[in-house]
């Protein structure tokens, strides 16, 4: 992908299960250079922060995650200063963490939740965002020996990039349905399970099952018929190879950064399936 002369990639300021930072050298070259990038599962935003486009349409089903992005775009200075308040020794304890977590769960103010979100992400276990059936954030404290670093440089870089971003908050379908001729739609859904075990899918209360994987392919192929180019990441398994039959499949390899055990943090076989506008994909049955 060619870049504008002043373009500089930005590192994500959040830690996120399934983040694509380590795959970027293999992934970014697969993205065609077009006018708008659409991400229906934006997560920590490692792809759009590293991809040089004129415009971005970003969506996630997690309302608190989108609230963080919106707060950083609309109130960058206040969000940064308020968030930095928590990255101090007085909040570097399990007691303080649980207090902030309770405040987060009890608050209905989107901006206030966004401010605490960054702290919970950096001080919580493995940077996970997990909610129970009641929608309450329940990730335990991480017990970091050193005080986690406040990502000021990353926040400032992201805030500058967000000027060309539009945000949606909802299911992935609405974002993909916006894709038309010349758009690039990169989908990074919760991964299908692989031989190493089930994947983490608790980003929202509803999870993401196999039927959701099939429905994503159907909606993506409809976007391609409208002239968009769609890329989808997933585990590389016989089931996903069949799921994306008819697509251009690129096999990648990356080290997992999040896992419950050391053995689950080894190298993982992943794929990126690409379908370009004008291609003929088979109809899902």
205 vs 191 pLDDT, higher one: 191
- pLDDT at residue number 41: 97
Q: Are 107 and 113 in contact (CB under 8 A)?
A: yes
Asked whether residue 228 carries a pLDDT value surpassing 80, the answer given is yes
Q: Are 181 and 228 in contact (CB under 8 A)?
A: yes
Cα distances (angstroms) measured from residue 252 to each of 9, 50, 266: 21, 18, 14
Q: What is the C-alpha R_g of the chain?
A: 19
- pLDDT at residue number 190: 93
Number of H helices, E strands in the chain: 10, 7
Give alpha helix (H) positions in the chain: 24-27, 46-50, 63-74, 76-84, 94-106, 110-123, 152-161, 172-176, 210-225, 238-243
**Banded pLDDT at 279 (limits 50, 70, 90):** low
Q: Is 12 left (phi over 0), alpha (psi -120 to 50) or beta?
A: beta
Asked whether residue 242 carries a pLDDT value surpassing 70, the answer given is yes
Asked whether residue 147 carries a pLDDT value surpassing 70, the answer given is yes
Asked whether residue 83 carries a pLDDT value surpassing 80, the answer given is yes
Asked whether residue 47 carries a pLDDT value surpassing 50, the answer given is yes
284 vs 132 pLDDT, higher one: 132
User: How is residue 197 written in tokens?
Assistant: 């075990």
Asked whether residue 1 carries a pLDDT value surpassing 70, the answer given is no
Give the CATH number of domain 69-153; options: 3.40.50.450, 1.10.1020.10, 3.40.50.2300, 3.50.50.60.
1.10.1020.10
Fold entry, domain 21-61+170-275: Rossmann fold (3.40.50)
Q: Are 83 and 115 in contact (CB under 8 A)?
A: yes
The mean per-residue pLDDT over the stretch 102-121 comes to: 98
3-state secondary structure at position 149: coil
Boundaries of every domain in the chain: 21-61+170-275, 69-153
- pLDDT at residue number 260: 45
């Amino acid at each position: 992908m060619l870049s504008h002369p002043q373009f500089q990639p930005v590192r994500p300021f959040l830690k996120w299960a399934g983040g694509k930072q380590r795959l970027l050298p293999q992934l970014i070259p697969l993205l065609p250079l077009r006018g708008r990038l659409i991400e229906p599962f934006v997560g920590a935003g490692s792809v759009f922060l590293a991809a040089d486009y004129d415009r971005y349409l970003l969506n996630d089903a997690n309302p608190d995650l989108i609230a963080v992005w919106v707060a950083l775009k609309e109130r960058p200075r206040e969000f940064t200063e308020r968030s930095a308040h928590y990255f101090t020794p007085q909040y570097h304890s399990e007691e303080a963490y649980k207090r902030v977590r309770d405040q987060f769960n009890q608050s209905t103010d989107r901006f206030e939740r966004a401010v605490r979100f960054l702290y919970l992400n950096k001080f919580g276990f493995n940077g996970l965002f997990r909610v129970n059936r009641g929608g309450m954030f329940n990730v335990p404290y991480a017990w970091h020996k050193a005080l986690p670093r406040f990502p000021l440089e990353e926040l400032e870089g992201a805030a500058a990039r967000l000027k060309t971003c539009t945000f949606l908050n909802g299911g992935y379908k609405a974002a993909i349905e916006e894709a038309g001729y010349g758009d690039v739609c990169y989908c990074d859904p919760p991964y299908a399970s692989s031989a190493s075990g089930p994947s983490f899918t608790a980003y929202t209360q509803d999870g993401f099952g196999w039927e959701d994987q099939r429905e994503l392919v159907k909606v993506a192929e409809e976007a391609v018929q409208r002239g968009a180019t769609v890329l989808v990441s997933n585990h590389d398994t016989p089931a996903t190879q069949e799921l994306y039959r008819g697509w251009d499949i690129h096999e990648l390899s990356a080290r997992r950064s999040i896992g419950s055990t050391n053995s689950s943090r080894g190298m993982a076989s992943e794929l990126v399936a690409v379908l370009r506008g004008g291609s003929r994909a088979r109809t899902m049955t």
